[in-house]
Amino acid sequence: MAKVTVTRTVNAPLQDVWASWDNFSDIYRFNPNLNGSHLLPGSASTGMGATRQCDMRDGKNFIQERIIGYDPHRKLVIDIYNGTLPLKSAVATFDFRAHGAQRSEVTMTMEFTPKMGLLGKMMLPLMKRQFRPMLQALLDANAAYVETGTEVSRAA
pLDDT tens digits, residue range 84-138? Answer: 988 889 999 999 999 999 999 999 999 988 876 665 566 766 677 888 999 999 9
pLDDT tens digits, residue range 4-52? Answer: 999 999 999 999 999 999 999 999 999 999 999 999 999 999 999 999 9
Average pLDDT score over residue span 144-151: 96
State the DSSP string of the chain: -EEEEEEEEESS-HHHHHHHHHSGGGGGGT-TTEEEEEEPTT--SSSTT-EEEEEETTSS-EEEEEEEEEETTTEEEEEEEEESSSEEEEEEEEEEEE-SSS-EEEEEEEEEEESSHHHHHHTHHHHHHHHHHHHHHHHHHHHHHHHH-PPPP---
pTM of the model: 0.92
